[in-house]
Amino acid sequence: MTQNGKGSSWQLNLAISLTSVGVIGTSIAYSVAQSAFAQSVIIPDQTLGNERSQVSENYNNNPTEAVTGGSVRGNNLFHSFQEFNVHEGRSTLFVAPNSSIQNIFVRVTGNNRSDIFGKLETSGTNANLFVINPNGIFFGPNARLNIGGSFVASTASGIQFGDRTIFSATSPQPLLTMNVPIGLQFGRTGGEINVQGELAVPTGKTLALVGGNVTLDGGNVGFLQRRTIKAESGQIAIGGILGVGTVGINLNANNDINNPILSFSDDVALGNVFLQNQARVDVSGQGAGYIEIQGKQIGLSRASQVVADTEGSQSSRGIFIQAKNLTLADGSQVTASVTGAESTASGGNVTVKASDSVRVAGIVPNGLENAGFNTGLFTLTLGKGPGGNLTIEAGRLIVEDGGNISASTRGNDIRSVGGTVKITASEFVKLRGNTKDSRERPSGVFAQTSGAGNAGSLIIDTPVLFVQNSAVISATTLANSQGNGGNITIKASDFIEISGSSPIRQFTSGLFARSRGSGNAGSILITTGQLNMGDRSTVTVDALGTGNAGKIEINAREIRLDGKANLNATTRSGNGGDLNLQIDRQLLLGGNSLISTTAGTTSGSGNGGNININMPNGFIVAVPGEDSNITANAFQGQGGNVSINAFSVFGIEFREKDSPLTNDITASSEFGLNGTVEIDTPEVQPDQGLINLPTQPVEPQLAQVCQGVAGRNQDSFTITGRGGLPNNPNELLYSDAVLTDWVAVSNLENIPNTPITKSISTPTQTNIAEATGWVISPQGEVVLTVNTPNTKSPDSWQKTSACNS
C-alpha cells in the first residue's frame, strides 16, 4: 500500500475489480471487506498538483488512515482521490490545518464507487464534510461518522459555489474559489447511494444524502437495534436525481418547508428513495428537528420509520415529503411528535406532496405482528402544546388494510389540542378495509384526543370519496377525555360512497365526529353531488359519554340510505344534535335505514335534536315495509322538532310512536313533552277539493217516476268531436278506434244533407214492467205487482203518476 498512488498490491487489484461490478449484494461486499483487506484503499490523484492530499497509515498506532495536505481556499479545504474506500474496523481521519476551516470537500475522480465500511472522522475543526463520487457510495453495516459539523454524501459530478465555479469530479479544474457551496451539479446520471450503517451528525447539524437512487436498509436487526440516520434536533435531507441538473443545497440551521435543504428544479428527472427492513431516519431531540425526502418513487417498507420528535420547549419543524408516488407499507411510519409530558412545544407538521398517488397499506410483515407497528402518517402531542398539522396533496390517496393518517393529542392540558388533517386529491380518496387480524384495526383518517385538549379538525377535498369495508373518517374524543370532538368537512364534487363492514367483529364504515368522554361531539359538513350509504354505514356526531351531540349538515344532489345505514346525532344522556339536509332531487330510504337526533338512549334527560330537510323540488321516497325511520325522540327530555319541506313524500308518514315494519316520522318523548313534526308538500293531494258526506242519514223516499207517453220526444246522447267512442252505448270499445280531426263549420257547406239509414236487427226481448203495488201472499210474503189492488183507501199515496196531468 502506498501513499502516492503509484504502487499496488493484489489486494488493491481485487478491490478495484469487485467495486467496478457494482453492488452485487450486501453480504458479498461485507465478507470481501472483512477478509481481503487489512487497510483502507485511499489513493490521491494528481489534480491538485503540489497541493495534493497525503495519506498516512496507522495514524498514532491506530487502525486509521490520516488525510492531510489538500488545497486551502479561504475557509474551505479540498481533497481529490482516484480511489476512496474505508474498510471494516478502520477509520479515515481528515486533519484540518487550522480551526478556521468550515468545509472539507472530498471528490473521487476515478471510475469506481466508494465503499465505506468503517468510520469517517474529522479533527482540529467543526467543519462540514462533503464526499462526492459520481460512481456511487456504499455505506456498510458498520459505517459510522465522527465529525464536528454537517455531512453531505452525493453522487453529483461536482459542487457549485456562489461564484459559479465548480469543484468537479469529472472535469477537474484549477481551484480559485473561496465561496460557500450552493449546489450539487449532476452532469450525468448519478450513481446510487446505499446505506446500511448508522450515520449520525452532532446536535443541530445537517445530514444530506443526494444521489441517483438512494436506499436505506436497516438489515432487520431488531426493533431496539434498528440502524438509523440521525441528526439530533437537526436536519436530514434525502433526494434522488437521475438526469442532468443542479440541486440547490442550503445547510442553514433553521431549514423548513419554506426554506428547504435541497432545491430541485421542476424539470429535473428525480430518482427513487427507499427505506426498508426497519431503517430509521430520525431528528428527535430536545430541540426542533426537520426532515425532507424528495424523489420520484418514495417507499417505506418492513417497519421503516421517519421520525421528528421533540421533548423540550422548542417546537419541531416537522417532515416534508415530495414525490411522484409515495408508498408506506408493512408497519412503516412517518411521525412528527411532542413526547415530553411537560413540554410546551408545538408538534411538527407532516406535509406530503405527490403528483400521482399516496398509498398507505397497513399489513404488518411476518415476525412483526406483535411489535405494535401501525402503518401510517402521524402527528402526535403528549405535552402541553398543540399538535402538528398533517397535510396531503395528491392525485390519488389510497389507505387500506389498516393504514392510518392521524393527528392526535394525549396531553393533560387544555392547550394540547390536536392538529388539523387536510387532504386534497385531484382524482379520488379511497379508504378501505382493516388489518385483517383478530384486532381488525380499521383503515382511516383520524383527528383525535384522549386528553384534556380538543381534537383537531379534518378536511377532505376531492371529486370522489370511497369509505369501504369498515374504513373510517374520525374526529373523536376517546374514553376519559375532557376535550371536545373535532369537526369534519368534506367536499366531494362527484359523489361519496360509504359502505361495508368488517367480517369478524362487524365494525362499520363511516364518518364519526363522536365524543366518548365528557366533552361534546364535533360537527360534520358534507357538500357533494351524491351521497350513497349502505351495509350499516354511519355518518354520526353522537355523544356516547355525558356530552352533547354535534351537528350534521349535508348539501347534496341526492342521498340514498339502504341496508341499515344511518345519519345519526344521538346521545346517551346529553342533548341530541341537529341534522340539516339540503337536497336537490331525492332522499331515498330503504332497508331499515335511519335518520335520528334522538337523546337519552340510556334513560338520559337530554332533549332530542332537530331535523330539517329542505328539498322543495325533490322527493322523499321510503321503500314500504322496510322500517326506515326519521326520529327526533327523547327519553326524559323534550322530543325534538322535525321540519320537512319537499315536493312530495312517499312511503313514510308521521306517527306518535315508532311502529315495527312501517316507515315512521316521530318526535316523541317517553316521559317528557313530545316534539313537533311539520311536513310541507305543495303538490295537489288526491283528497283536495272533496266535500265530506253528511254524518246523519237522510230519510229514504220512493221516487215518483214519470210514465213514458207516446209521441213525446225521448232522451238522447250525442257524440261529437274526434271519434274514438262507438255510436251505440251497447257496442264494445276497441283499441283500433279511428280518431277523426275536428272539421270547421265552413267545410260542411257543400256536404249533401242526405239522411243515413241503418237497419239494426234487435232481438225480441221480454218487456219489464214497473211495479206499482204489492200484495201479501198466504205465507206472509210481500209480492210486488204491476196493478194496484182494487181495495185501497181513498187517500192512499199508491197512485199512478201522470206527467201530463
pTM of this structure: 0.80
**Do residues 350 and 379 touch, judged by C-beta distance below 8 A?**
yes
The helix or strand, by DSSP H or E, that contains position 105, with its residue range, turns out to be strand 103-108
Amino acid at 665: I
Amino acid at 206: T
Amino acid at 369: E
The alpha carbon of 666 is separated from its chain's Cα centroid by a whole number of angstroms, namely 35
Nearest Cα residue to 499 out of 435, 565, 555:
565
Q: Tell me what pLDDT residue 340 has.
A: 78
**Do residues 59 and 228 touch, judged by C-beta distance below 8 A?**
no
Nearest Cα residue to 616 out of 568, 573, 581:
581
**Do residues 596 and 632 touch, judged by C-beta distance below 8 A?**
yes
Residues with Cβ < 8 Å from 24, sequence gap 6 or more? 18
CA distances from 441 to 302, 471, 505 (A): 18, 9, 10
Q: Tell me what pLDDT residue 120 has.
A: 98
Q: Tell me what pLDDT residue 384 has.
A: 84
Query: Which set of grid coordinates corresponds to residue 114?
Result: 466508494
Q: Output phi, psi for 17, to 5 deg.
A: -65, -35
Q: Whole-angstrom Cα distance, residue 330 to residue 336? A: 19
Residues with Cβ < 8 Å from 122, sequence gap 6 or more? 93, 94, 96, 104, 129, 146, 147, 148, 149
b/e per residue 650-689 (b: at least 16 CB within 10 A): ebbebeeeeeeebbbbbbbbeebebbebebebeeeeeeee
Pairing mode, strands 421-432 and 472-474: unpaired
**Do residues 86 and 119 touch, judged by C-beta distance below 8 A?**
yes
Q: Whole-angstrom Cα distance, residue 219 to residue 395? A: 33
Q: Whole-angstrom Cα distance, residue 385 to residue 447? A: 16
| Per-run averaged pLDDT (10 residues), the chain, 805 residues | 33 32 37 48 95 94 96 95 97 96 96 97 95 97 97 96 92 83 88 96 97 92 71 96 93 89 91 95 91 97 92 86 96 90 84 98 67 83 87 98 91 83 98 84 90 90 97 89 90 96 82 88 95 95 86 97 94 87 97 91 79 96 95 88 95 89 90 90 55 52 48 57 57 55 49 40 52 70 63 44 43
**Do residues 526 and 496 touch, judged by C-beta distance below 8 A?**
yes
Tell me the HSE value of 294 on the side-chain side, using a 13 A CA sphere: 22
Cell 322523499 found at = 620
Nearest Cα residue to 422 out of 379, 371, 362, 363:
379
Query: Which set of grid coordinates corresponds to residue 244?
Result: 442532468
